[in-house]
């Protein structure tokens, strides 16, 4: 009897734990909604959609764009910067953090706007330093319904949480662009080189890619593979291209951090692109180092669980058969070695030793 009472006393009350978890979720959502609502109390105008015609020429303007409403009936606001030139020209859109843990693009956009001179600009530059306002607040990658926003375009006006968010993000902001540069990083547990995803068969998109200070340029149309559900698989870049907006995706290093080297190289590339598209004076320059062009790429995965070491570096050239991974059990005993199936270059790699079967090892770029 005594043992039973002690065990009952020490055993966690599952109903209490569930109630505690629900209370934490409630307060997180409430604080998020209040935070988003408080931002509306500033003197920055709130727009129902991007209205470039109302932005004054020759200066940088700040806006909040109201995409949709949260659980407390308060607006979910996305920050937008608009540098409008005194002369007509194209609209170049820069978007960052469609994934809430991909942050390097935010300081790149901010620094571009600190350096830009709207009085000498021929056209308009729009910066969105935090497209996924909800996940940024919650410090997570995916949206609140656990969906990847960048795999949900075109979305639906009457769809689920993610579908409505991307539908209105595109309708209210992205469709106003003539060119799109979408800024990303690696995800949790991985690191990336600075590389560009672009459809190099399109001459305009190819130029946009080659103007960047990239380590690697990857030929990638950004469209779903055969057999995939198009509406549920399309990226924002692919959606933009389908709407006649030339677009590239740039991957700037690592998740959940600011990296000054990535910021500097990113700003250089964006400014070079603005010159190339005729928004700023001068001609685009050749990057400090020519990028390595890969015609295709793929991730290599483990076929067993264990603790993973990846003894290769980003941008390392590999030969077929070269060691890329060591998998050990908890006692340190080697389970298996992984080797490159063909020659290529390391675009990205896993940094998390915890590896369930099917975990990523390296992102291998193939040059030919």
The three-state DSSP-derived secondary structure of 74-130 is CEEEEEEEEEECCEEEEEEEEEECCCCCCCCHHHHHHHHHHHCCHHHCEEEEEEEEC
Q: How are strands ordered across the β-sheet holding 334-339?
A: 334-339, 323-328, 306-309, 354-355
Please name the residues in contact with 41: beta carbons below 8 A apart, sequence gap of 6 or more.
none
Q: What pLDDT score was predicted for residue 228? A: 45
pLDDT reading at 70 higher than 70 = yes
pLDDT for residue 336 is more than 60: yes
In the predicted structure, residue 129 carries a pLDDT above the cut 60: yes
- Arithmetic mean of pLDDT, 65-91: 94
Residue 213 has pLDDT above 90, yes or no: yes
- For CATH 3.40.630.10, the residue range(s) in the chain are 38-292
Q: In 177-235, where does DSSP find H-type helix? A: 203-210, 230-233
In the chain, pLDDT over 70 holds for what percent of residues? 86
Tell me the mean pLDDT in the region 296-309: 97
pLDDT (mean) for 295-313: 97
Task: Reply yes or no on whether the pLDDT at 236 is more than 60.
Answer: yes
Which residues does 28 contact at the CB level (< 8 Å), separation at least 6?
Answer: 138
Domain at 38-292: CATH architecture:
3-Layer(aba) Sandwich (3.40)
Long-range contacts of 13-17 (CB under 8 A, 24+ apart): none
pLDDT for residue 269:
98
Per-residue pLDDT, 21: 55
Give the mean pLDDT of 288-313.
Answer: 97
Arithmetic mean of pLDDT, 278-285: 95
Which CATH architecture fits 297-366?
Answer: Beta Barrel (2.40)
């Amino acid at each position: 009897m005594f043992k039973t009472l002690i065990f009952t006393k020490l055993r966690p009350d599952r109903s209490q734990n569930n109630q505690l978890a629900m209370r934490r979720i409630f307060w997180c959502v409430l604080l998020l909604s209040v935070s988003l609502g408080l931002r509306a109390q500033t003197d920055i105008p709130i727009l129902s959609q991007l209205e470039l015609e109302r932005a004054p020429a020759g200066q940088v303007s700040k806006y909040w764009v109201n995409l949709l409403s949260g659980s407390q009936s308060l607006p979910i606001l996305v920050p937008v910067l608009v540098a409008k030139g005194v002369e007509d020209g194209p609209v170049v859109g820069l978007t960052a953090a469609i994934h809430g843990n991909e942050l390097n693009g935010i300081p790149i956009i901010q620094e571009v706007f600190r350096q830009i001179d709207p009085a000498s600009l021929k056209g308009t530059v729009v910066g969105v330093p935090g497209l996924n306002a909800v996940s940024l607040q919650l410090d997570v990658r995916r949206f609140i319904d656990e969906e990847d926003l960048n795999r949900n375009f075109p979305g639906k006006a009457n769809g689920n949480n993610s579908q409505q968010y991307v539908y209105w993000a595109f309708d209210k902001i992205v469709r106003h662009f003539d060119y799109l540069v979408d800024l990303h990083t690696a995800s949790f547990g991985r690191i990336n080189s600075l590389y560009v995803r672009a459809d190099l068969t399109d001459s305009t998109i190819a130029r946009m890619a080659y103007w960047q200070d990239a380590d690697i340029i990857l030929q990638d149309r950004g469209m779903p593979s055969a057999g995939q559900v198009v509406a549920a698989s399309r990226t924002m870049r692919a959606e933009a291209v389908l709407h006649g907006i030339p677009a590239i995706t740039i991957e700037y290093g690592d998740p959940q951090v600011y990296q000054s080297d990535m910021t500097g190289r990113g700003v250089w590339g964006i400014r070079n692109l603005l010159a190339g598209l005729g928004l700023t004076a001068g001609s685009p320059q050749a990057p400090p180092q020519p990028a390595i062009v890969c015609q295709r790429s793929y991730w290599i995965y483990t076929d067993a669980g264990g603790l993973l070491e990846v003894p290769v570096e980003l941008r390392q050239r590999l030969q077929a058969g070269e060691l890329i991974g060591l998998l050990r059990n908890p006692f340190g005993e080697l389970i298996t070695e992984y080797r490159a199936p063909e020659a290529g270059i390391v675009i990205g790699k896993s940094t998390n030793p915890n590896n369930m079967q099917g975990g990523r090892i390296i992102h291998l770029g193939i040059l030919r």
